[in-house]
Chain A
Amino acid sequence: MLIEIKDIYKIYNEGKESEVRALDGVSLQIDQGEFVAIIGASGSGKSTLMNILGCLDIATYGTYILNGTDVTDRSDRQLAHIRNREIGFIFQGYNLIPALTAYENVELPLIYQGVSIFQREEMVLHALERVGMADRWKHKPSEMSGGQQQRVAIARAIATRPPIIMADEPTGALDSKTGRHVLEILHALNQEGTTIILITHDNGIAATARRIVRISDGRIVADGTREEVGL
């Protein structure tokens, strides 16, 4: 089992009147090589779940076993290591560093990994090529369209060739054609063995996943194939 969470709660302002249970007792297992789509209404807790799965956030209660080890009692340094080596993130809002060029943004996780400058160049260009952005490597985020920024963000996520990719609405800002292109990239990566966790509003896109998890009010309400979930 690659990912295993048990009774995860994420509660904001616990005990106060403004208490929000973004995750309200979620248990989930994901195997290596799976392609999982997470769907649900806005505010249902999809991003919260991904942040916890990606070690960007810590659950209020519950356990999280990644690759057989408990993540909940890892040090900050070990978590940084996990984020760097194990997981590639594609954020809902791109999250590129504005002052850096496309090339430099994609290069960043490789620098933190300690990859040599020569290897880096090859890996960065390869990742940019894969998303069709190699000709824009010199551009800063402010000089690119939303879809182009999203593709650079994807290149950054795949540059280190992580075993897991987590994508939060990667097609949200794209037209259907580029959206489909991004989806194809994810599927191709999945073919190569990468585990994909994809959050989406778009039922059409979710339907391409072998497994679909539906969330509502912080709880998993359905988990299975397209037919089982009812798409």
Chain B
Amino acid sequence: MKIGQAVKMAAKSIFANKARSALTMLGIIIGLAAVIVLVSYAQGQNLAMEKLYSSMGTNKITVYAYTWNGSNNVSQALYDYCLNLSDQVVGFSPNGNVYSQPTIKYGSKTLAPASHSSGGAVIVGGTAMSTGGENNYPSIYLGNEQYGMCNDYTIANGRDLSYLDVKNGNQVCVLGAATAEYLFNFANPIDQTITINGLPFRVVGVYAYKGDPSSAPANPEDTNSWVDQVISQMDQMILLPSTMTRYFNNNQPIDQYVVKVRSSEDLRPVITSLKTFLSGIIDPNSGSFGVNSDDVYKEQQGDATAMQQRFLGGIAAISLLVGGIGIMNIMLVTVTERTREIGIRKAIGAERSSIIVQFLIEAAMICGIGGLFGIGVGYVGTLILGKLSFNTILIPSPGITAGAALISVALGVIFGMYPAIKASGLQPVVALRAD
């Protein structure tokens, strides 16, 4: 029998058994689409985490060091030590936080802390950040002229803090993009004066947006992923010279610092050096210290993500298996009917090879069409899920798509061939008796 004839025969069989063909395709479509969507979701989550990490600032070491007696020379000693490491360390800044949540005013606009927490807390790198809600109260940081650089902020307008601002204790500030937009709308904030707890601060600069300006800050919660929310949170900030600490936090000295290193290879050696140095100047009986890097945390997080991905991969494998069993089931359910058909075909003179070729083509056609639909559904599902979960255009990777399609089509073909391989070797009379 010629191959063209076998193709025609297979097509005829597919159309003559519409229900069976449709069910088989459905099995493949569901199995394949599920795998594509699940794996793509895992990859989308990875991308989101990477986006978050790069927004948080890279190659960053956070140091916390204080002494009971509150002596301020730890800060100076650390600063000097970091200068010594200048081929590894590119930036150093105090990293203070104003905890008292003072009222911020500009003209008729007021920013006051929400009376109750309206959003959920998200833990990033061990720091809790509140998310969502109507609250756009900014975080107020205390740092020096390198604070912005250390935390990967770039100036969009005006200038950053200067060495002299810090040294002389100038009452100036740099605003995060979202905070500037809230307070000044489209007016130019530079050289305007805002008040914090009644103290005047002159705005010298505005940082560029880290997040997506359109999604900041008061958009409804559900249109944004928590990653986007956390990132836009970073745009709600005010940076003051670290010397301003004397007006806030009951005049307690800053005990947090941020150190920026040149590259990720420098992270661990610098952490070790800093620990050695701090253990030399801080007596454990009179103070304590800690040296940490989000990047190290990120590595651990990466492990967790890898584990999660293995987990999702497992789910994907299971859905592929379930889809495969579905395919197998519908194929096996019709084995009796098909066995009789094969018996008839053999009885009227079909060779074993023609029967196997016909079934092979038939299964390949059904599974091929089902596979295409499955990929289509998987892509649409991924796009929808990507929009809903990550607010980005998420597209399945071609490798995953091809792999999953190959496996489900192979399953369909194998089980579609099963009755042919089994029954075509029987005596016709045995195949005819099948029930």
A120 to chain B, nearest CB (A): 11
- A111 close to B1 (CB less than 8 A): yes
B83 within 8 A of partner (CB): no
- Report the nearest A residue to B8, measured CB to CB: A111
> For B167, what are the chain A residues with a Cβ–Cβ distance below 8 Å?
none
> For A28, what are the chain B residues with a Cβ–Cβ distance below 8 Å?
none
A145 within 8 A of partner (CB): no
Q: How far is the CA of A76 from the CA of B354 in the complex (A)?
A: 12
Which of B135-143, B247-255, B424-432 lies at the interface? B424-432
- A85 close to B429 (CB less than 8 A): no
- Report the nearest B residue to A89, measured CB to CB: B347
> For A113, what are the chain B residues with a Cβ–Cβ distance below 8 Å?
349
Find B427's partner among A56, A108, A156 (CB 8 Å cutoff): A56
A163 within 8 A of partner (CB): no
Find A80's partner among B341, B343, B344, B346 (CB 8 Å cutoff): B346
A104 within 8 A of partner (CB): yes
- A104 close to B12 (CB less than 8 A): yes
Q: How far is the CA of A54 from the CA of B343 in the complex (A)?
A: 13
A100 within 8 A of partner (CB): yes
Find B349's partner among A57, A83, A96 (CB 8 Å cutoff): A83
Q: How far is the CA of A180 from the CA of B381 in the complex (A)?
A: 65
* B 326-358 binary contact with A (CB < 8 Å = 1; else 0): 000000000001001101111111111110000
B307 to chain A, nearest CB (A): 50
* A 137-166 binary contact with B (CB < 8 Å = 1; else 0): 000000000000000000010000000000
Q: How far is the CA of A83 from the CA of B345 in the complex (A)?
A: 10
> Looking at A56, A81, A89, which has the most chain B CB atoms within 10 Å of its CB?
A56
A99 within 8 A of partner (CB): yes
A55 to chain B, nearest CB (A): 8
- A99 close to B429 (CB less than 8 A): no
- B352 close to A76 (CB less than 8 A): yes
- A112 close to B16 (CB less than 8 A): no
Sorting the interface of chain B by its residue count into under 10, 10 to 19, 20 to 34 or 35 or more gives 20 to 34
- A109 close to B349 (CB less than 8 A): yes
- B5 close to A100 (CB less than 8 A): no
- A80 close to B349 (CB less than 8 A): yes
A97 within 8 A of partner (CB): yes
> Looking at B345, B350, B425, B428, which has the most chain A CB atoms within 10 Å of its CB?
B428
- A97 close to B349 (CB less than 8 A): no
Q: How far is the CA of A98 from the CA of B334 in the complex (A)?
A: 13
B17 within 8 A of partner (CB): yes
A216 within 8 A of partner (CB): no
- B5 close to A111 (CB less than 8 A): yes
> For B5, what are the chain A residues with a Cβ–Cβ distance below 8 Å?
111
- Report the nearest A residue to B348, measured CB to CB: A109
- A99 close to B16 (CB less than 8 A): yes
Q: How far is the CA of A113 from the CA of B345 in the complex (A)?
A: 12
Q: How far is the CA of A112 from the CA of B9 in the complex (A)?
A: 11
> For B263, what are the chain A residues with a Cβ–Cβ distance below 8 Å?
none
> For A156, what are the chain B residues with a Cβ–Cβ distance below 8 Å?
348
**Which residues of chain A in 35-81 are interfacial with respect to chain B, using CB atoms and an 8 Å cutoff?**
51, 54, 56-58, 76-77, 80-81
> For B344, what are the chain A residues with a Cβ–Cβ distance below 8 Å?
95-97
B103 within 8 A of partner (CB): no
- A80 close to B350 (CB less than 8 A): yes
Q: How far is the CA of A91 from the CA of B343 in the complex (A)?
A: 12
A45 to chain B, nearest CB (A): 13
- B1 close to A100 (CB less than 8 A): no
> Looking at B12, B344, B432, which has the most chain A CB atoms within 10 Å of its CB?
B344
A84 within 8 A of partner (CB): yes
A230 within 8 A of partner (CB): no
- Report the nearest A residue to B428, measured CB to CB: A56
- Report the nearest A residue to B427, measured CB to CB: A57
**Given A95-B432, A99-B17, A114-B1, CB of A108 within 8 Å of CB of B347:** no
B13 within 8 A of partner (CB): yes
B145 to chain A, nearest CB (A): 82
Q: How far is the CA of A183 from the CA of B254 in the complex (A)?
A: 112
**Given A111-B5, A112-B1, CB of A58 within 8 Å of CB of B427:** yes
Find B352's partner among A80, A95, A109, A111 (CB 8 Å cutoff): A80
Q: How far is the CA of A91 from the CA of B428 in the complex (A)?
A: 12
> For B428, what are the chain A residues with a Cβ–Cβ distance below 8 Å?
56-57, 83
- B13 close to A99 (CB less than 8 A): yes
> For B345, what are the chain A residues with a Cβ–Cβ distance below 8 Å?
97, 108, 112
- Report the nearest B residue to A101, measured CB to CB: B16
* B 1-22 binary contact with A (CB < 8 Å = 1; else 0): 1100100010011001100000
- A112 close to B429 (CB less than 8 A): no
- B351 close to A57 (CB less than 8 A): no
Find A111's partner among B9, B340, B353 (CB 8 Å cutoff): B9
**Which residues of chain A in 6-47 are interfacial with respect to chain B, using CB atoms and an 8 Å cutoff?**
none
> For A91, what are the chain B residues with a Cβ–Cβ distance below 8 Å?
347, 432
**Given A76-B352, A111-B9, CB of A95 within 8 Å of CB of B427:** no
Interface residues of B (CB under 8 A from A): 1-2, 5, 9, 12-13, 16-17, 337, 340-341, 343-354, 425, 427-430, 432
For the complex of A and B, the 9 pairs showing the least CB-CB separation, nearest first, are A84-B349, A99-B16, A57-B429, A109-B348, A56-B428, A56-B429, A80-B351, A112-B349, A51-B429
Instruction: Apart from A76-B351, A83-B428, A114-B1, list 13 A-B contacts with CB within 8 A.
Output: A51-B429, A54-B347, A57-B428, A80-B346, A80-B350, A81-B349, A84-B348, A95-B347, A97-B345, A99-B341, A108-B348, A111-B5, A113-B349
Q: List 13 A-B pairs, Cβ < 8 Å.
A: A58-B427, A76-B351, A80-B346, A83-B347, A83-B349, A89-B347, A91-B432, A95-B343, A99-B17, A99-B341, A100-B12, A112-B349, A113-B349
